[in-house]
Structure formats: structure tokens, C-alpha cells
Amino acid sequence: MANLSSGETPLVHQQMFKVEMNEGPLSKLVVAILMALLFIYINSIMFHTLLSKPVFRELPRYILFAHMLCNDTILLMMVSLLYLLSLYLQRVPRAVCALIILIAATTVRISALNLGVMSLERYVAICFPLRHSEMASKKMTGVLIATMWLLGCLSPVIDIIYTLIKNPASFGADMFCTYEAFFKASWQIVVFDGIHGFYFVSVTVIIIFTYVSVVVAARSATADKESATKAQRTVLLHFGQLVLCLNSLLYETIERAMAKVSSSRLFMDLRYMNYLFVLILPRCLSPLIYGLRDNAVRPLFLYYVRCGSQKVKPSVTVH
């Protein structure tokens, strides 16, 4: 096993990197990177689809969907970069690592928060249809997105600032880039796990509340049955996506637990599966779940996927 230099976080999984450098098949790396690139490509096309029509840029549910796509794409880029850096034992300046970790950790949290906001938007649309344009305006949507980014970056900013205060000279040194390298005290891990738990529980409560409210609205005599039923299914999909987001929120915790296994080969195999199924695969579900089931988005998305080979560009009708 590789010995860590003084000042580095003595993490088991950092010590195992050198053992496995030449043992893992190249096919694993190729599969992981190709999957990430494929999903980034799909998300980019869907994002371009939403930007191509003014109506998508005005309605809150499409603005939030576009924000989800943008957030997931940034997350895919950051986690893929971190995976490559760790796989090839590449050291980077601590200041550069801090920026990468800040973006990656923030986008992971926003994945869950955005689902909660999307569920609330559907709740307002069904339960308060006459006030929907007021309560879910474009301006309010922008405020909520800004709030999500503020809440998402809170924990990593605290950890980075604390590290800077404790050891300012270290920010000029090179390091293996992991979030744990910025844990200098035990309370940071408690806060890290606590914030993750709070966000997940809060979003879970929001989604359950909105689902129950939409179900009640769907049974009322005055409700638009079709819209309420569609909203009910959408909120259920939000809950399914939230379960996958929980895995992403627990990624670091899972990896810390896996680092305790005695076999370095087993750890690297588990780490690869954790990266692939916890971070990469869930990111592909956003365009598939929310985009392809939308009758307004799907034809236009398929048009761009085919590089505009259709003679007639699909029209957009939003209900």
C-alpha cells in the first residue's frame, strides 16, 4: 500500500489506489466514461430543446426541468473528473480541488432540493389554479433556484473555509482530491451527514404532502381530473427520483464504509459499482422520466436527436 505524506487525510481508500492502479480492466473505465458522456449528450439535447421555444422559457415547470438538466450535467462532469483524478492518482492544487468539490457537492444537494420545488409547483397548479401564475411566477422560480444554490453550497463552503482557517498554507500544496480531505474535525462529518439527512427528510415530507394534496384534489368535483391525474403521476415520479437522489447524498458515507473492507481489490470493485449506479445512472433518468413523457417536449426532442432530419419541425402545444 502507498504511504501518505504528512498532512494528508489518512483515509483507507486513498492508501489503496496504488495497489489497484494496473489491476482493474480498462473496460470498466471506458464504460464509466462513455456512459457519462452519453448522458451529458442527452441532457444537452434536452436542454437545447427547452431553450428553443419561448413557451418553455416562460413556464415554471419547464424552467425547473431545465435547471435540473443543467445541474445534472454539471454534476456528471464534476464526478467524472474526480473519478479520473482518483483513478490515476493525479494530484491537484488544493485550491483547484476546493472548487471542484464545491461544485460537485452543491449539485448533489440541489438534485434533491429541485425535486421538492418541482413537486410544490405541481401542487400549486392543481390546488390553487387561479393563483398559480402569481405564486409560481417566473420571478419566483428564479428566487427559488437561487435559494437552492445557496442552501446547496452551505456545507461545502463551511468545510472549505474551516480548512483555510486551520491551515492556510496548505491551499498552495498539491493533494489527492476528495471531499474527506477537507474534514479537519469530527464535527464536520456530523454536520455533513446532518445536512444531508435534513434535506432528504424535508424533501420527502414535501413530496408526500403534495402527493396527498393532489390526490384529494383529484377526487373533488371541481378539479380538472386529467390534469390532477397527470400531476399525481408526476409527483410519484418525483418520489422515485428522490430515492435515487438519496443514494447520491449518501455516496460519500457509502464509500467511507466500503473503505473498511480488508481487500483492496474488493474495495475498488465496490467503489466502481457505487460510482456507476449511485452517481451516473440516476442522472440519465431526468430526460427520460420528465422529458419523453411530456407531449410538448417529446416530439421536439426527437427532432433534435435526429439532427433535424425531419422535413417539418414539430409544433409545440403546452397544456
pLDDT in tens, 14-55: 433 343 444 455 777 788 888 888 888 888 999 998 998 888
The answer to whether 73 and 280 are in contact (CB under 8 A) is: no
Q: Is 255 left (phi over 0), alpha (psi -120 to 50) or beta?
A: alpha
Cα separation, 43 vs 48, in Å, equals 9
Superfamily of domain 24-305: Rhodopsin 7-helix transmembrane proteins (1.20.1070.10)
Cα separation, 162 vs 185, in Å, equals 9
> What's the pTM value of the predicted model, to 2 decimals?
0.81
User: For residue 317, what pLDDT is reported?
Assistant: 61
Indicate the average pLDDT of the chain. 78
Q: What are φ and ψ of residue 92, in 5° steps?
A: -135, 155
pLDDT band at residue 8 under the 50/70/90 scheme:
very low
User: For residue 98, what pLDDT is reported?
Assistant: 92
HEC string for the chain:
CCCCCCCCCCCHHHHCHHHHCCCCCHHHHHHHHHHHHHHHHHHHHHHHHHHCCHHHHHCHHHHHHHHHHHHHHHHHHHHHHHHHHHHCCCEEEHHHHHHHHHHHHHHHHHHHHHHHHHHHHHHHHHHCHHHHHHHCCHHHHHHHHHHHHHHHHHHHHHHHHHHHHHCHHHHHCEEECCHHHHCCCHHHHHHHHHHHHHHHHHHHHHHHHHHHHHHHHHHCCCCCHHHHHHHHHHHHHHHHHHHHHHHHHCHHHHHHHHCCCCCHHHHHHHHHHHHHHHHHHHHHHHHHHHHCCCCCCHHHHHHHHCCCCCCCCCCCCCC
- The domain spans of the chain are 24-305
Percentage of the residues of the chain whose pLDDT score is greater than 70: 76
